[in-house]
Chains A and B, each alone.
Chain A
Amino acid sequence: MIIEQAKEVLIIEAESIMGLVERIGREFESAVDLILKAKGRVIVTGMGKSGLIGRKIVATLNSTGTPSIFLHPAEAIHGDLGMVTHDDIVLALSNSGRTSEINSILPILKEMGIKIISFTGRPDSQMAQLSDITIDVGVEREACPMGLAPTASTTAALAMGDALSVVLINRRSFDLEDFRRFHPGGSLGERLGKKVKEVMLAGDNIPEVQLGTMADEAVREIDSKGIGATFIVDAEKRLKGIITDGDLRRCLLTKKGMIHDLKVEEMMSPAPKTIGENQTTAEALGLMELYSITLLAIVDKQMKVRGVVHLHDVLGGEEFRLNGISKFT
């Protein structure tokens, strides 16, 4: 019974978000355009549970590059409206669209010439009528008896806030460097701010064999160093090429078992991608993403190998996908 009830609640909440998928439309696009064109901040306001959701939307907008602050509607009436400038956009949240504190400040904001976006379950409400853009976040059913604690409706508003933030990320071309800048305290942000030399493998940890080495030896080097590749260097340790697990696979397929008789220069890919040791790990990650590779050689001006940096070293051993754009192999 307990599990059944829990499942029912989760289904109702999931359905509330699915319901938004089919209703989202031009109003959402207009809201995104409005925020992108705004010179000021997004001022989010809401009472009660909607206020709590509003605060989360503020946090998400801020951490993804859209300056935002929360304005408590009751405090606004008592002076906090002064924090709103003509360049700002207001995002008002109220499921019923009848929250008196919000509806009393919106006319003042309108008079100031400030554009208002509203998230409401009642597109015909007073709040919606006072808004320039109304986004319908109505749900078909709440998961809590007697609406004492708004459940599905707050989930829907939260999800729509996330949708807005993520679309704004993409429209602003928010990149890894921006992520690092806005998340300096986070483990990933901290890591992406480091220099390559702080995370690279050096000395005996660098997988490398010299030109003229037989393929068997290269395979042993790849296996023992455990990063899926080995560099090929000349007698002066200058970088000449790379053999990766992928090169081995391709060689096995094309040479039909004759791999043992090959020398490394017959198998290697020339001109592997490199990076300087004083460049940042964010830049290293950017190069890996650009070329769909997982490691980079660190070389000095003479192209001598100083180290190697692997994707895992950049990300701290965890796979990370920002915005679903990772294409690492």
Chain B
Amino acid sequence: MQIRLKSGQDFATGLLFLVIGIGAYYIGSTYSMGVAQRPGTGVLPRILAWCLIGTGVLMWIKAFVGPGEGTYRFSWRPVVMVLLGVAILVLYLTVFPPILAALKIQGDGSPIIAVTLAMLVAVTGMPNTPWRPLVMVTIGVIAFSLLVDTAGLIVAMVVSMTLAALGTHETRWREFAAFSVLMLLIGYGLFIYALGMPIKVLPWN
């Protein structure tokens, strides 16, 4: 009997569910269950993890047994990129901490950045995924969060908008420059002037 993959998408979705479900179960099993009258921290995580795993299995069944002619073609790119993403994560957990400490980059953000970047790399591995918009927009948002506390709103906005604009080849730079000035004015007017939010605007305040 030949088992053919009918739908790469269903397989990938199932894989996603299984990975998250198993991960959640693994972490959730360390939480206490409590007693019947006082359900503990771990009750819902475990139930949900099982549900997600179950859903993942169903997706896999659908991927192999569902309707379709099995014209899915295997390609190396997704596998390579996913492995690369995992590698980044592993690097982050092992090699980066001393480097980051030396550069004095701290704060809670770094695990989130690491996981986001790892995921970014893995996702660009999907077939028919031009990397440019996804990567540039994501980096733009990350840049904003890294810059806004230290360099102020204007710098953060300019950098992140520029990075995002780089994400598409349609950008016309003169138009973009005028537009970003407009955006900065609106942003300043709305958030700083009208709402009075205590946000740092310039790098030297």
Q: Do A and B come from one complex?
A: no
